[in-house]
A and B are shown apart, each in its own frame.
Chain A
Amino acid sequence: MSEYVLQVKDVDIQYFTDAGIVKAANEVSFNLRPGERLGLVGESGSGKSTMALGILRMIKPPGRITAGQILLNGDLDITKIDEDAMRELRGSQISMIPQGAMNSLNPVMKVKEQLIDTMKDHDLHLTKKQMEARAREALENVELDPKVGDLYPHELSGGMKQRVCIAIGIVLHPKVIIADEPTSALDVITQRQVMETIAHIQEQMGSAVILIGHDMGLMAQFVNHMAVMYAGRLMELGTVKDIFTNPLHPYTQLLISSLPMLDNRGDFQGIPGITPSLLELPPGCVFNTRCPQAMEVCTQRIPILEKHGAGERWVACYLYEH
């Protein structure tokens, strides 16, 4: 029994387009323990959503996972199994709460029917009564009145719809839940409600959660570990406390200092420059064009993600090379 429920090892995801090869994710590696909350943070073009799709093997052509392994429970490499086997896993072992999930509900089916549908798709050999009970349980887990099961999606508010999507995501008790910007369309108060719901079910079921987003504040309030991505590569990995109190990578440092907080009012510190196109990444470290501490070696070779210090900390930067 592995100590990790999910291990992503040196994964490359590329899109082969007419305009060239888009290197959406490069040599991405991280591990996830059961019950852990990992935040995958990055701006647009960082590759975080690509990783989410990659883990679920939902990358569509012209994209492909071109290298690396994704191990489930330490032994099954899901990049190598066939589509039928993957379909079995999706929803039951690894599930996703997508962005804008409110629009992925079937408008002509009642909520509980959609939950039962998910169960039917996975051949659990449960009776109708058992499935209905599970559906009720899932709704209660997301703090919705089980009566909501008899309603249609249009009768629910945005926050309620999102929670129904979470219920669908957890009804089969998956081990890993990937939440891709689950609250981006919601207002601040509903966002808090939904995140509290996710925290609640996660603790109850012992699943691990990968929260994908660009809102560092949300990460600070929810996750225990964080992985910072930029232009398709992992820049830094560590506990959320370490990263906020002592960010190592220059990108992380600049990102955190640009955030508006209660004590830096009126002080605007953006990161000059623009994110490179994934079609034409600069040589060496992808951040070297904007990095205030860039050295000669940064323009020549790509820094490797290395462990830093005793604890769980990895950083890909020549400033810390051994």
Chain B
Amino acid sequence: MAKLFELRSVTKIFRGGTLAVDDVSFSVEAEAPGIIAIAGESGSGKSTLGLLVMGFLEPTEGEVIYNGKNLKDLSREEQFALRKEVQAVFQDPFAAYNPFYKVDHILDVPIKRFKLANSKDEARGMVEEAMERVGLRPNEILGRFPHQLSGGQRQRLVVARALLLQPKLLIADEPVSMVDASLRATILKSLNRLNREFGIPILYITHDLTTAYHISDYIIILYKGSIMEAGDVETVIKNPQHPYTQLLIDSIPWPDLGHKWGQQELIIPDGADPEIKGCKFAPRCPHVKQVCWDSPPPLYKVDGARVASCHLYEGHQVMPKEQVGELFAPLTEAVAA
């Protein structure tokens, strides 16, 4: 299967020495338009991964490959095409707008730049259709300034923009974390539609595992720049195998009185992070062994649907880096069926 995009052993170290992404490899297949969640806490490198995929950051090591070509090697036309084909929805619904212009600006500019319409009327028609698809009424929204709309309306308009552009890949970086609870479901629904009706794969970056569970098909759990566990979202969330994932899931405040948090003891490391040669989670892991301090564990295939990077599963088959994308492929069969 052709790969839409691929990260090959990508490492990103920022000026000043911060290691944001450490040797991460995964891919999204072109024919498998699922929603993949990239979940982690702050400092896990999830947002950096998003920026790397968008081409806004260059990897320190490794390659970011889009449609078979390394982003560094793209010609000007190909770069321009990349801009159209890879789009994003950001966290802050207000900051995504230039306060100087009316909100129409974020829809009009790309239509013009990417020549998506042949006349003003056609453009207007496209805009209205996209807006109605996300549940916005054009006459209430267009012509206004960003501060005149609510956070939910602004964010929905950004999603409408994504719909309009029909990208080949959408990166949603915490799209609902700054939106009120009652509106989150509406926005997630629109994103879901983008995926199910238009076949656009979505990378859903978040720290909130509840929404990740709700909307995604697959999930990648990041910790300090490395993949801890990845695979089918039901399997990973309901039956986590990596100690870090287990700790995370145990700490989720589900709005469900039958599901209490905090069953697991927390291990709090003292003081600063030492140079870690082995597994990054070793200082906090309840199952830590000597080998964990010495060498970083590879991604073991714990079962058919997921992999975990943990020495507890030594003896299992190791997932080669270039095949990580296959974890996210089974959906094609389900969709085709």
Direct contact of A and B (CB under 8 A): yes
Q: Is B285 an interface residue (CB 8 A)?
A: no
Closest to A256 in B: B255
- Contact partner of B213 (CB less than 8 A), chosen from A245, A265, A269, is A265
Q: Is B333 an interface residue (CB 8 A)?
A: no
Q: In the complex, A221→B251 CA distance in Å?
A: 10
Q: Is B91 an interface residue (CB 8 A)?
A: no
Docked-complex contact A43 and B41, CB < 8 angstroms: no
Residues of B near A274 (CB, < 8 A) are 150, 152-153
Q: In the complex, which residues 164-204 of chain B have their Cβ closer than 8 Å to any Cβ of chain A?
A: 180-189, 192
Proximity string of chain A (199-232) to chain B, C-beta cutoff 8 Å, 1 when within and 0 when not: 0000000000000001111111110000000000
| Smallest beta-carbon distance A184→chain B, Å | 10
Q: In the complex, A211→B192 CA distance in Å?
A: 33
Closest to B211 in A: A260
Docked-complex contact B210 and A43, CB < 8 angstroms: no
Q: Is B113 an interface residue (CB 8 A)?
A: no
| Smallest beta-carbon distance B254→chain A, Å | 6
Residues of A near B215 (CB, < 8 A) are 266, 268
The total of interchain contacts (Cβ-Cβ below 8 angstroms) comes to 120
Docked-complex contact A221 and B260, CB < 8 angstroms: yes
Q: In the complex, A217→B181 CA distance in Å?
A: 11
Q: In the complex, A274→B141 CA distance in Å?
A: 13
| Smallest beta-carbon distance A186→chain B, Å | 9
Q: Is B247 an interface residue (CB 8 A)?
A: yes
Docked-complex contact B41 and A188, CB < 8 angstroms: yes
- Contact partner of A270 (CB less than 8 A), chosen from B151, B182, B252, is B182
Docked-complex contact A220 and B192, CB < 8 angstroms: no
Stretch at the interface among A56-64, A116-124, A189-197, A307-315: A189-197
Proximity string of chain A (39-67) to chain B, C-beta cutoff 8 Å, 1 when within and 0 when not: 00001100000000000000000000000
Contacts A217-B253, A259-B255; is A187 near B151 (CB within 8 Å)?
no
Q: In the complex, A240→B211 CA distance in Å?
A: 22
| Smallest beta-carbon distance A154→chain B, Å | 13
| Smallest beta-carbon distance A102→chain B, Å | 13
Q: In the complex, A196→B250 CA distance in Å?
A: 13
> Residues of B at under 8 Å CB distance from A?
41-42, 135, 150-153, 180-189, 192, 207, 209-211, 213-215, 234, 237-238, 247-248, 251-257, 259-262, 266, 268, 270
> Residues of A at under 8 Å CB distance from B?
43-44, 145, 187-189, 191-193, 196, 214-222, 240-241, 244-245, 254-256, 258-262, 264-266, 268-272, 274-275
